[in-house]
Amino acid sequence: MISSCPEPLWRGVAVALVTLFDPDGVRVDVAATAAHAARLVESGVRAVLVAGSTGEPDTLTDTERATLVAAVKGACAGVPVIAGTSGPWTGTAVARTEAAVKAGADAVLVAPPGRCLDVAAYYSAVAAAAGPAPVLAYHFPGVAGGEVPVEALAGLPVAGLKDSTGNAERLLAELDAWDGWTYVGAPVLTGYAGALGAAGAILAVANAVPEDCLAAWDGDPTAQRRLFGAHQAARSRFPYGLKELVAQRFGTSTTARMG
């Protein structure tokens, strides 16, 4: 592993931020999205991921992505802002990474392409584009690009990994395979990951129930069980189920571009 940061950029719970749109879905509501991020940070969330798979990234233009990163960064002083910069091929990921870092991202989260034949070369190009900003690999095959093999982790030029599969056995293998920052993306593993010594969790349900996410990470079994219900609601008709859950709590827009 190649990392300029020996300690994790953050520990604990981060939010995989929703992207909020105007009612017609034509325009990104940048101000509302940034205000929602700031509200979650005030609730105790330790970092914010912009334009990850929760944020409907395939529906965003590259300009919209960069604008969101800059706005959230401005609204969330004191916590890291991570930008999702995956792309279907190396050139797209490199361009998005450069733009995100220029917009103020503290790190980038990048999935490999679905048919990536050379994962190390792909991440080498992304890491060069990111400069001093740490790169986190993203493992959520079938949803966000292709696979990040466990056996490849130690040799990749990345500082961390987000694994959203919810596979407990794979999480153990990841923690055993390398010393990088391992983050889970599945809320069902929040407390388990915390007990095992993972760096943190990057959760979509933190948009709606940040307090339960934080409590589950700290080992509260009751909060962990409540997260299962939130998780089921959030993944129903994604992203509509999640946006409805967030709207019930905070009165935000339920408009989505996906679907």
Binding-site residue set for pyruvate: 54, 202
**SS3 state of residue 59:** helix
**Tokens 């993944």 sit on residue:** 235
C-beta separation of 184 from 14 below 8 A: no
Could you give the CA distance from residue 2 to residue 73 in angstroms, rounded to a whole number?
Answer: 25
Chain center to CA of 120: 21
In the chain, alpha helices (H): 30-42, 62-75, 90-103, 119-130, 168-177, 190-196, 210-217, 221-235, 240-250
The catalytic residues are: 138, 162
Tell the burial category of 78 from Cβ atoms under 10 Å away from its Cβ (0-12, 13-18, 19+). Answer: exposed
Could you give the CA distance from residue 227 to residue 159 in angstroms, rounded to a whole number?
Answer: 28
Could you give the CA distance from residue 178 to residue 139 in angstroms, rounded to a whole number?
Answer: 15
Which residues contribute to the annotated binding site? 54, 202
Helical axes 221-235 vs 210-217, angle rounded to 10°: 130
Question: How does 52-66 read in b/e, with b if 16+ C-beta sit within 10 Å?
Answer: bbbbbbebbeeebbb
Q: What is the amino acid identity at position 63? A: T
